[in-house]
Amino acid sequence: MERRKFLQNTCPTVTFAFFGISFIQACSKSSDDEPMYNSGSANSQSNPYGNDSQGSSSETNNGISVSGNTITLDLKNSTFGSLNNPGDFVNLTSINLLVLKISNTEFRAFDNCCPHNGSKNSWSYSNDQFTCGTHGNSFSIDGNDVKSCNSGSTSGGLKRYTTSLDGDNLTVTT
């Protein structure tokens, strides 16, 4: 066998065997075909992604109503049952939104797209930062130094949307 053909046929196999599949997946984008929403609590030490639910963002059976760039969330709906205490959040992957409870009268909403690699389905929250579970990068919620989705940035802030609370209805303008 020719030296060149030997190297072309053997080197990729040896490289994969040496580094394993984790080398290839290390900075790959995670699968975003996950549940429609995930929830978490700053106080939860177990699964920070909570319960799963399904629903359409155009219907209100899941407490979510979308009209143009206005999203209305019915906080009485079971979709938002995990938003009991400040620091609790819900990840609405169906509409690309993280909703965080700041206090009984204040909620904040953020783009759930990781500035590093675009992951949307694996977030945790603590110390005024969301951490992407794909690579462990943390992003602030203060609205400063906002980084765009999938920009490769490993720090900075998440894009924050305007919110207003009227009774049990939270309106988010994207």
Kindly report whether the global pTM for this prediction surpasses the value 0.75: no
Query: Average of pLDDT values for 24-36?
Result: 44
Higher local confidence (pLDDT), 41 or 98: 98
**How sure is the predictor about 12, in pLDDT bands with cuts at 50, 70 and 90?**
low
- Identify the burial level of 138 via C-beta atoms within 10 angstroms of its C-beta, where 0-12 means exposed, 13-18 middle and 19 or more buried: middle
**pLDDT of residue 24 exceeding 50:** no
pLDDT at 40: 75
Please state, in angstroms and as integers, the Cα–Cα distance from residue 109 to each residue in 24, 72, 74, 99, following that order: 33, 12, 14, 5
Query: Average of pLDDT values for 24-30?
Result: 42
SS3 45: coil
Higher local confidence (pLDDT), 10 or 143: 143
Could you give the domains of the chain? 35-173 (2.102.10.10)
**How sure is the predictor about 70, in pLDDT bands with cuts at 50, 70 and 90?**
very high
